[in-house]
Amino acid sequence: MIGINRRSFLHSALMISGAPFVTAIGNAVPKKKNKGEDAISLGIIARADNPEEDLKIVRDLGFPTCQLNVKEYSPELAKRLRATLEKYYISPVTLICMGPGVYTYNFKEGPSTIGLIPRETRPARIKRLKEGIDFCKAAGIPAVHAHFGFIPENPDDVLYVEFIALMKDLGAYSLKNGIDIYFETGQETPVTLLRAIEDIGTGNLYVNCDLANLVLYGKANPLDGVKMLAKYIRSFHAKDGLYPTDPYKLGKEVLIPNGEVKFPEIIAFLKSINFKGNITLECELSGTNSDYISKTKKYLETLIDA
């Protein structure tokens, strides 16, 4: 999208001086537990092409969980990744599984380039998702997640009907392998995503709720969106932004807590419904550094612990 690549921004924050080691929590490969295992857990997006080095960064930043981005899947890498996650007691939340091809994050080219809605790129992207599911099974990652595109609001739209059919097949393939699929919010309204999950109906479909995307795409007030999707939300992206004012461009991303995402209200609601999932820090702004990561981590921890 904008600024640096969301999947590699962690590499701008190689270390936070004195960052504590935090043991893993959640339902992934690592099994070591600590006092805070019943609370909302915090994580960060990380590369995992060189897991021994990449996940050491996550450990040193003090995050117990992470979402993973991998360029090339292989049995050998899956084995190394599983072993490194166990070594550092880091719980993997999802494998971010996107592409191949161009994704243009705006309102003009976006509908014809993002996810599985565009017909031209569907076969290659379905193949990539199935390879990602296989990799998750081998590496001990519980779910794949992706942007699936501008899902039509009209359930009789031919693109909607096609999407439901292909997702039934993909959902069944994933279910057979014991892997969940997470939809990242963004291009569709919350009620459209809710309808799609229930129409697909394979029982292993959940939501990675990107709070800022609900704002950046002008799809919902974040708290309202969370309430609509709550029963399917398993994880969140923590970032912030402003509503769009140009009808062809997404809204502007800003640093937490300077945008329209009201994190105190969101986390208070999550605590009220006894949410036990993960919040993953994501920032696509250029120049993001370890100071911002550390400050935002502490800000979210304070809200969770309040």
- 203-234 pLDDT, tens digit per residue, is 999 999 999 999 999 999 999 999 999 999 99
pLDDT at 198 over 90: yes
- 103-141 pLDDT, tens digit per residue, is 999 999 999 999 999 999 999 999 999 999 999 999 999
pTM: 0.89
d(Cα 139, Cα 97) in Å, to the nearest integer? 14
Lowest-confidence pick of 21-30, 82-91, 234-243: 21-30
Lowest-confidence pick of 60-69, 253-262, 282-291: 282-291
pLDDT at 260 over 60: yes
- 271-296 pLDDT, tens digit per residue, is 999 999 999 999 766 455 788 999 99
- State the maximum Cα–Cα separation within the chain, in Å, rounded to a whole number: 56
pLDDT band at 29 (very low <50, low <70, confident <90, very high): low
The CATH T-level fold of domain 9-305 is TIM Barrel (3.20.20)
d(Cα 73, Cα 81) in Å, to the nearest integer? 11
* CA distances in angstroms from 124 to 1, 90, 104, 149, 291, listed in the order given: 21, 31, 17, 15, 39
